[in-house]
Structure formats: structure tokens, C-alpha cells
A and B are shown apart, each in its own frame.
Chain A
Amino acid sequence: MGQNHEFFELKDKILYLKGKWVVENTKGIQKKISDFVGFERVDISLVDEIDTFGGLLILQNFDKSKLSGKNEKVESVLELVLNNLAKIPKVKKKSLLLRFSNYLEKKLKDYLFFLNFIGKSTIDFISKISDFEFRTFIKDIQNMGVGAIGIVGVLSFLIGLVIAYQSAAQLRQFGANIFIVDLVSISIVRELGPLIVAIIVSGRSASSYTATLGLMKVQEEVDTLDTMGVSPYTLLVLPRILSLFIVMPLLIVFADIIGIFGGMIISNLILGVNYAEFLDRASRVVTIKSFLSGIVKGPVFGIVIALIGTSEGFKVEQKAESIGTHVTASVVKSIFSVIVIDAIFSVIYRWLKI
């Protein structure tokens, strides 16, 4: 009786291995290997070519004491494989409780890091103010302020348009057409203007800060600065905080104007409130108090966004996905904080009766 195959031949109770026992043929060999039974010895002398894949297959499927035949190449490969065989260490599965506590620990560390970051920044701002680079600051105002004007303009124009459009139908039912002015201008000046700007800046600037500082961290530029005695906080964080501090209120003023302009166009088209009427009423409705109450939010949002963006950047580790994770985190956290802070502002204004 004899069975024949590309890689095997069974003859006189001896299984002859033959052909190329290499990586390309691993699948083919694995498919056939269990078909051959009832042999007493395995002969390796006919194998033409072998690599570690073939070696592993031989050692896994046949008892080493059954191997026979002379073949220097195969023997040396088998020896190499045999000397280096090892089991993959098991990864211990963590219990649910442990995973939960790890999660809590991570969150807690996150907050501690942020507090630590604020503390260190403050100390460095005071003690190492000489490291401050005016150029970085101006460049950041250019990028994050002037660069954002286009998108802020378009979005606030559209928001003004939409609010006027939606409320027009309701106001017309009561014949309260002229009150569109109050509705549009106050809501934009007090709430929507600052919020739109803060969300746009969170998306544009916080992400860019995290990515920039994160890459600097990965390439050890931050460590280099530190060893040179230059404070990375004063050099990298402070200009960004200051620039958003200045840029945010300016962008809000711009958003207010464009947003009200958008509302004005719709009021004229749908409710027949002409431009002169609109502007006249708007200038009386929007008091200096409500105008300022919107603008004041700007610097606060700016500081928070810059702090979150830069601190997330400093958290980046030496992994490809790390920058991505932290950029996402910085955008999500800054938008979240902005809205929470906005809510707090509303409460405070209520108390102060503004």
C-alpha cells in the first residue's frame, strides 16, 4: 500500500516527507497532514527546502523520536526551531471590579494632571516670564483669530438667519412682527454669539494646540526645552492662552454683528421690518449691559480652551494613536467645558440681575 502526495509519501510504514516545506506551502501541508496515519517512522531525507515554518510543522505534528533520515539542512532548522520554542505568555483577564477601579484611577489622574498643569504653568508664568516669545503670540493671534474670521462669519450669519426665519412664523401669528428685533439681537448678543465662537475655536484651536504640542512632546522637543532651562509652559502655553484671551472677545463682537445682520435680512424679507426700523430698535434693545455680558464670556472661554488644548498636548505618549486620542479628548472636553461654563454664567447673571 502506498499513498503519494506533493509533500508526503507513505511506503512500508515509513512516512517520507518531501518537496518544499516552506511558508507558501504551510496551508497545503496542514490540510493533508492528518490524512496520513499508520506510520512508524518519519523520514526527512527527501525534503528539498525547509524554513522555520516547515520546521515548526514537523515538530508540532511528529514525535521527535520518530524522525529519521539524513538531511543536514532540515536538521539544522529543526534544531533552531527546537531551541527557540516557547509558549506565548497568557494575558491575565482583569475582573470587572479591577477594570472599573482602573478607569476611576485613570480619570482621577487625568484631573490631577490638569490641576498640576495649571499649577506648574502659573508658577512658570510668574518666575520665568523672560522665556515668553512675543512672536509666537502674534503668530497665534494671526492663525487662531484672523484665520477663524471666515468660518465664524459664515456660521453666525447662518445662525442669525435661521433664528429669524424660525421665529418669524410664530411672531406673525400675534402680529408682533417688530419683536423679531429683540429676539434675534438679544439671543445672539447674550448667548449664541459667544457660544458659536467658542465651539468653532474649540474645534479649530484646541485640536491644533493638542496636535502641535503632542508632536513636540513625542519628538522630545519639550524635554529638550526643559533641559535647556527654558520653561515649556511659558514658551508654549502662555502665548496660546493670551492669544485666545484677546482673540475670543474680538471674534464674539464680529459674530454678533454678522449674526444680527443675518437676522435683519430675513426680518425684512419675511416680516417686512425695514432695515432702518430694525437698527433703530436694536440699538435701544441691546443695552450695553447685555452686550458686555456676552463679550465677558470670551476671555474665560479662551483661557479654558487654551488650557485644555495645551494640557492634552502634554499628555501625549510615544504611540501613533496617542495624538489622535488626545486631539479628540481636547475637542470634546473644551466644548463640554464651554457649555458648562456658559450655564454657570447664566446663573451668575441671574443673581446679579444683569
Chain B
Amino acid sequence: MVKDIIISVRNLQSAYNERIIHQNLNLDVYKGEILAIIGGSGSGKTTLLKELILLKEPKQGDIIIDGINIKQLSFKQKQAIKNKIGVMFQSAALFSSLSVGENIVYVIKKRYNIDDETAKNMAMLKIKISDLDEDVYWLYPSELSGGMKKKAALARALAVDPKILFLDEPVSGLDPISADEFDKTIKKLVELLGISVIMITHDLSSLLIADRVAIIANKTIIFCDTPDKIHTVDDAWVKELFMGERGKRFLDGNKA
């Protein structure tokens, strides 16, 4: 079965001044899949994410999102692409002067000019979908726990039903049980809404919900396939990650 490609990255080169981060990087993301991106610290995961969400311009190469090359787009076209993506940043990044509900309503109204009543109902729905209580609607980010902040950030990322959801270390700082719940919520959303998820993660158990795993090393993607083929990768860091003490636990868990 041929799957539709929603994002494709071709021969990407990116750099901060003289320092080259990516060289000849190619990546395809299919519709409706969860793609996990892993890699050591400083390998350029977040840089790739920033380029995919139009925060940073690549030096060379093409990024095609939903059939549109993001190079040299007009302001309006960029806006149209931004409407298709939802991003959850690592630090949650909720607006601290708005309550959680208002955070979501703000996004809905800014993007689609929908009436108050509907926007509020949608915000409440998103809060519930992200596994939070009704009361959270009126709470301010400073009143939330770490896990609730992450969920609230997910709710805001989902605000306008994006086609592509970017998650930057969604479960970092959560306890294992909350992390599992969070992973399950994401899996459920992908199945029900058919969205594509690109997730940067350091958490090996999050790989269990991923359809495919991409590994960034040596400035490019050295592996991009289903999680069970990871043992074929010939890279010291990856071997240590999966075949070392930590990885054994993960692989055993995966088989069980």
C-alpha cells in the first residue's frame, strides 16, 4: 500500500553561521503516522523541527509540506501552512497571562475568526480530549503541575485540528505513568483524527507508540524505519542506546 507523503525533506543543509548542522538530509513523513526523531544532544533535532515549523530557514534544500514547497512563499501562503500545523514546545510555552481555556480560545479565534461560543466550546472539548478536568479551563499556567502543563500545551497545539502535530520532547519531566498516559492519548488522537505526528523524544518507551523512528547522527538521518529494525543500525551511539544497559530493557519490553 502506497502511503501519502505529508512532509518531505530533500537534500537539506542547515547551518548556524559557519557551523553546519545538517548535510544532505532526506526525510519523508507519511500521512497518519507517528514519526519519532531521536539523536544525541546537539545532533540537530530541534533545528530540524524549527525548519519544519517555519521558524528557521534552511540554507539549502527543499522542504515540502502537504505538497507545497516552503521556499519563497508569500505571507499568506505561509499563514496557510501554519494553520495546518500545531506545535507543542518542550517548555509548554503557554501564555502565562491567559487561563488555559483562554489560551486555546485565543488560537482558535486568531486563526479562524470563529464566534465566541463555538470557540469556547471547542476549547473545552480540547481540554477534555487532552485528559484534563473541566476546572482547568479557568486555571492559569502558574497554577498547573508539570504534567498538566504538558497536557494543556497539547490541548493548545490541537486547538484548530492541525493536520501535522509537532511535539518537542512531549513527555520529558513527566513520571513514567503520566508519560504512558500521554503517549496513549496521542496514539488515540492519531487513530481517531488521522493526523500526522512528528515527535522528538529521548524517552525510549515513547518509541513504542511510534510507527517509524528516524535517527539523526553525523549531520544527517542515518536510519528511518520501523522500531523493530533499529538493531540493524551501525552507529556507536545508537548501539549504546539500544544494546547497552538501557536499551536491553526497552527491547525486552518491546517483545513482551
Contact = CB atoms under 8 A, between A and B. Distances in A.
B137 interface: yes
B193 A80 contact: yes
A277 to B, nearest CB: 61
B138 interface: yes
Contacts of A87: 124, 134
Contacts of B101: 88
B112 A23 contact: yes
A81 B115 contact: no
Interface in B112-135: 112-115, 118, 120-129, 134-135
Given A26-B112, A27-B113, A319 B140 contact: yes
Contacts of A317: 142
A60 B121 CA distance: 10
B138 A85 contact: no
Nearest to B160: A23
A52 B134 contact: no
A78 to B, nearest CB: 10
Contacts of A88: 101, 120-121, 123-124, 134, 137
B128 A85 contact: yes
B30 interface: no
A153 to B, nearest CB: 39
A85 B120 CA distance: 12
A150 interface: no
B114 A26 contact: yes
B193 A51 contact: yes
Contact of B125 (A73, A85, A89): A85
B96 interface: yes
A321 interface: yes
Where chain A touches its partner, the secondary structure class is: helix
Contacts of B256: none
A30 interface: yes
Contacts of B232: none
Contact of A56 (B83, B118, B137, B138): B118
Contacts of B191: 76
B51 interface: no
Contacts of A23: 112, 114, 160-161
Contacts of A318: 96, 142
A91 B97 contact: no
B173 interface: no
B89 interface: no
A315 to B, nearest CB: 14
Interface string A73-104: 10011011101111111010000000000000
Contacts, number: 81
Contact of A53 (B83, B124, B128, B161): B161
A24 B112 contact: yes
Interface string B37-78: 000000000000000000000000000000000000000000
Interface in A28-42: 30
Interface in B2-28: none
A53 B122 contact: yes
A320 B122 contact: no
Given A56-B118, A84-B129, A86-B134, A51 B161 contact: yes
A27 B83 CA distance: 16
Nearest to A24: B112
B1 interface: no
A30 B118 contact: yes
B142 A319 contact: yes
Given A52-B193, A321-B96, A321-B97, A84 B128 contact: yes
Contact of A91 (B118, B129, B134, B138): B138
A52 B161 contact: yes
A183 interface: no
Interface string B87-117: 0000000011100010000000000111100
Contacts of B135: 89
Contacts of A83: 128
B189 to A, nearest CB: 8
B115 A56 contact: no
Identify which of B101, B128, B161 gathers the most chain A CB atoms within 10 Å of its CB.
B161
Interface string A307-339: 000000000011111000000000000000000
Contacts of A14: none
Contact of A76 (B97, B115, B123, B192): B192
29 contacts: A23-B161, A26-B118, A27-B112, A27-B114, A51-B161, A52-B122, A52-B161, A53-B114, A53-B160, A56-B122, A73-B194, A76-B191, A79-B192, A80-B193, A83-B128, A84-B129, A85-B125, A85-B128, A86-B127, A86-B128, A87-B124, A87-B134, A88-B120, A88-B134, A88-B137, A91-B138, A318-B96, A318-B142, A321-B97
Closest 4 CB pairs of A and B: A84-B128, A51-B161, A318-B142, A320-B96
Interface of B: 83, 95-97, 101, 112-115, 118, 120-129, 134-135, 137-138, 140, 142, 160-161, 191-194
Given A77-B193, A86-B124, A88-B134, 8 more contacts: A26-B114, A27-B113, A60-B121, A80-B129, A88-B101, A89-B134, A318-B142, A320-B97
